[in-house]
Amino acid sequence: MAALQPLVSHLETQTGQSLNNHRLSTIGGGDINSAYRLQAANIDWFIKLNRASLAEMFVAEAAGLRELADIGAVRVPKVICFGECQQHAYLVLEFIELGALHSRSASLFGEQLALLHQRPQAYFGWHIDNTIGSTPQYNARHDDWVSFWQQQRLGKQLQFAAANGYRGALQSQGGKLLERIGDFFSAYRPHPSLLHGDLWGGNAASDKQGQPIIFDPACYYGDRETDLAMTELFGGFSRDFYAAYQAQYPLDPGYKTRKTLYNLYHILNHLNLFGSGYLNQANSMIAQLLAELN
């Protein structure tokens, strides 16, 4: 912890807050960053740290949290500040005691997420690029969702996979799928919604009062079905959540098929981040999607 003293002094200067007699403790559970709790009189902060070269990642995370806060549909931690100090990039957020999303808060969360998704946005993409895990996520503006998903999402992950040495069937079948993405949208025209973008069970919780909280977003404007799809990928969301979402903002019947198209992005990302353990899953998702089209 002594190594963090320069950061504590830096934060005092940045925020104008006194951090006398502060306490620092380590927080576990993150995938990408190291995390700490900093407490002092009237101060309770959650600090994420990484290498200074990754400062842009925290700029984008802070922008996402602020945009989610502006809409106000779901609670997010307040951004205190972010920047670089010596060899570190940092992001300081309000610290929130987190607990599991039990039945009532899960149902509230379903309704609140639907309210977030119901707010229309102007285009597909976002004003800056960000990251999904530690992989770059490109958010160039598109007026057409199919071209966005082809070029900025699946196409990019397939390119990363090729650069990581995953060639052969993944690329040939993946290429066929890319050409036919439009076929999944013959009777469905999504509007752009602000998305959390990385909505697995580890990035949603409840505060002490039972208010849902989302954090660690990878925001952009896109089809709301992508957020829903990801909640189903690694579990963690209860039936109450889906029932409340559906009651507030019913899903199109074609969601069941597009869910695989959307989760393929995250499985390809896992292949690129964590290795070949995800190759079979990626190949079988592509095969399933191509079979739907025949």
* CA-to-CA separations, 165 to 136, 151, 155, 162, in angstroms, rounded: 18, 20, 15, 5
> Among the options 31, 70, 129, 198, which is catalytic?
198
Q: Hey, which bits of the chain come out as E strands? A: 23-27, 34-40, 43-51, 79-85, 88-94, 130-132, 135-137, 193-195, 204-206, 212-214, 220-222
Cβ closest to ligand ADP, residue 96 vs residue 154 = 96
Cβ closest to ligand ADP, residue 36 vs residue 278 = 36
Cβ closest to ligand ADP, residue 31 vs residue 252 = 31
Active-site residue, 198 included: yes
Q: Which is nearest to 128 in space by CA: 55, 42, 34?
A: 55
Q: Does 31 bind ligand ADP (CB under 6 A)?
A: yes
* CA-to-CA separations, 150 to 11, 50, 131, 143, 154, in angstroms, rounded: 42, 31, 18, 13, 5
Residue 29 CB, nearest distance to ligand ADP (Å)? 4
Stretch that binds ligand ADP, among 32-40, 80-88, 187-195, 245-253 (CB under 6 A): 32-40
φ, ψ (nearest 5 deg) of residue 119: -75, 115
Q: Which of 40, 52, 71, 98 binds ligand ADP (CB under 6 A)?
A: 98
Instruction: Give the pairing type, strands 193-195 and 220-222.
Output: antiparallel
Q: Which amino acid is at 156?
A: K
Residue 78 CB, nearest distance to ligand ADP (Å)? 9
Residue 187 CB, nearest distance to ligand ADP (Å)? 37
Residues forming a β-bridge with 137: 130
Residue 240 CB, nearest distance to ligand ADP (Å)? 21
Segment 188 to 227, residues that bind ligand ADP, using CB under 6 A: 202-203, 215-216
Cβ closest to ligand ADP, residue 95 vs residue 148 = 95
Q: Does 245 bind ligand ADP (CB under 6 A)?
A: no
Residue 194 CB, nearest distance to ligand ADP (Å)? 18
Cβ closest to ligand ADP, residue 96 vs residue 113 = 96
Q: Does 33 bind ligand ADP (CB under 6 A)?
A: yes
Give, for 57, the enclosing helix (H) or strand (E).
helix 55-71
Q: What angle do CA 238, 214, 81 make, to 5 degrees?
A: 170
Catalytic amino acids? 198
Residue ranges binding ligand ADP (CB under 6 A): 27, 29-33, 35, 46, 77, 93-96, 98, 202-203, 215-216
